[in-house]
Structure 1
Amino acid sequence: MLVLSRKKGESIVIQDHIEVTVLAVDGETIRLGIQAPKEVDIFRKEVYLSIQEANRESAAPQAQNLERLMQLMAVPKKSGQN
């Protein structure tokens, strides 16, 4: 992890097209401004983690669907079918 010290009004640049500027410092709270291309997604970490969890849940097979699939796979073939 790169650790930098910045004062109000100072910035850092990431890969030529993302600029992060310290807008204000109030006690333990820092306000940051982020300038980036529209195609770059920027999320607070807690929101990002919530999105990732929702994606995992939606991609996981639901128990009832998995159970039904297992039942279908166990059905014996009728005679005369391949």
Structure 2
Amino acid sequence: MLILGRREGDSIIIDGGIRIVVVSCDRGGVRIGIDAPSHVKILRGEIADQVKSENERAAAPVGTEWLAALGAPTSKPAPEPDA
């Protein structure tokens, strides 16, 4: 990780035409502006973590007890053999 000291109005240029500007600083935090090409996706870290967590939860195996409680079949019946 690269750590830089910047002041209000200072910027950082990242390969690919991404420019990060320090808009303001105070005791409550730092406000930054990001100028990037439209094809570059920019997400806040906590949002990316939430999306990852939700994707992992959705992909996890699910118990079928709740389906049975609703009266839904929990497994497909075996096909009958051809006679």
State the TM bucket, normalised to the shorter chain.
Answer: 0.7 to 0.9
Q: TM-score, normalised by structure 2?
A: 0.72
Aligned to 1:57: 57
1 or 2, which has the higher helix percentage?
1
Return the alpha-carbon distance in structure 2 between the equivalents of residues 51 and 15 of structure 1. Answer: 26
Secondary structure at 1:24's aligned position in 2?
A: strand
| Structure 2 unaligned residues grouped into runs of 5+ | 68-73
| Structure 1 unaligned residues grouped into runs of 5+ | none
Q: TM-score, normalised by structure 1?
A: 0.73
Aligned to 1:23: 23
Identity of aligned pairs, percent?
Answer: 32
Structure 1 residue runs of 4+, over 6 Å off?
Answer: none
Aligned to 2:46: 46
Return the alpha-carbon distance in structure 2 between the equivalents of residues 4 and 79 of structure 1. Answer: 71
Deviation digits for residues 18-69 of structure 1 (CA, Å, limit 9, x no counterpart): 110000001141000001112211111111101111111222232228xx4x
Give the C-alpha shift of residue 9 in structure 1.
0.3
Return the alpha-carbon distance in structure 2 between the equivalents of residues 38 and 56 of structure 1. Answer: 28
User: Mean alpha-carbon deviation: is it higher for 52-61 or for 30-39?
Assistant: 52-61
